[in-house]
Amino acid sequence: MPIHLGVNIDHVVTLRQARYREMLDSPNAEPSVLQAALEAEAAGAHSITVHLRADRRHIQDADVRLLRKEIATKLNLEMGNTPEILAIALDVRPDFVCMVPEHRQEVTTEGGLDVAGQKEVLRDTVSKLQANGTNVSMFIDPDLDQVRASAEIGARMIELHTGTFANHLGAERAKEVARLKAAAELGHSLGLQINAGHGLTTKNIADLFVVPHLAELNIGHHIVSRAVFIGLRTAVKEMLDAITPYRG
């Protein structure tokens, strides 16, 4: 099956919030989160990803509800494990939830979730979401203990953090590729769907193609950055073309 592309549009909303954070009801509030999602869909994206953070620095509750109502593709909600955000997820019922670590000091999500150290609290969240019709993924570093822990708590998917892969070259990248391969092999053997994301670009994506069993890549910053110069629809198509050669 061809690999799928999930497009993260958080940073489209980062631009909106830079001017309209306190005036979201303004007729001038732009760019539109819905228009961004529709452009990505028109280009062929298989899902739309947004991260509803506790501090609401970009995506807002209303954005999530609007996307759930209006998009034709699947909605992937990234979230930290907090009662407030869980309640919203249970109400909105996105197709997927990806559980991520969340720290107020970070600019964007850095590093994977410590599933092994939080198994019981995460197990409860996973159970509630999946009983409600939402498949759950764990955003984890390519660590075998974290893969096993994700399977043990009942998650159906993992998303392998590729930030370390993306930020290194040569021997260090090769070392990280080996870790990603091992994590993907183990996850697949445990019945998990294997996704990946963070720091992926059209320039580095081919080096990831030796990692087996990848079902979906979630990519945002690079696509939005390219969109500044070539438009969002073209940027999504460019990434789709870049991942087409993957054979799993």
Tens digits of residue pLDDT in 97-151: 999 998 655 545 568 999 999 999 999 999 999 999 999 999 999 999 999 999 9
Centre a 10 Å sphere on the Cβ of residue 87 and count the other Cβ atoms it contains: 11
pLDDT for the residue 143: 98
24's tokens: 């979201």
What is the Cα–Cα distance from 3 to 196, expressed in whole angstroms?
11
Using CA of residue 79, residue 32, residue 7, residue 129, what is the dihedral sign? positive
Q: From the candidates 78, 102, 159, 216, which is the catalytic residue?
A: 78
Q: Which CATH architecture has domain 4-243?
A: Alpha-Beta Barrel (3.20)
The answer to whether 4 is a known catalytic residue is no
DSSP assignment of 48-110, as one string? EEEE--TT-SS--HHHHHHHHHH-SSEEEEEE-S-HHHHHHHHHH--SEEEE----TT-SS--
Q: What is the pLDDT of residues 223-239, one digit of tens each?
A: 999 999 999 999 999 99
CA atoms within 13 A on the CB side of 90: 15
Please say if the pLDDT value at position 28 is more than 70. yes
- What Rg, from alpha-carbon coordinates, does the chain have? 17
Among candidate residues 4, 39, 41, 51, the one labeled active-site is 51
Question: Is 198 considered catalytic here?
Answer: yes
Number of H helices, E strands in the chain: 10, 8
- pLDDT tens digits along 81-90: 999 999 999 9
Residue 1 has pLDDT above 80, yes or no: no
pTM: predicted TM-score of the whole model, two decimal places: 0.94
58 is catalytic: no
Residue 61: what pLDDT?
Answer: 97
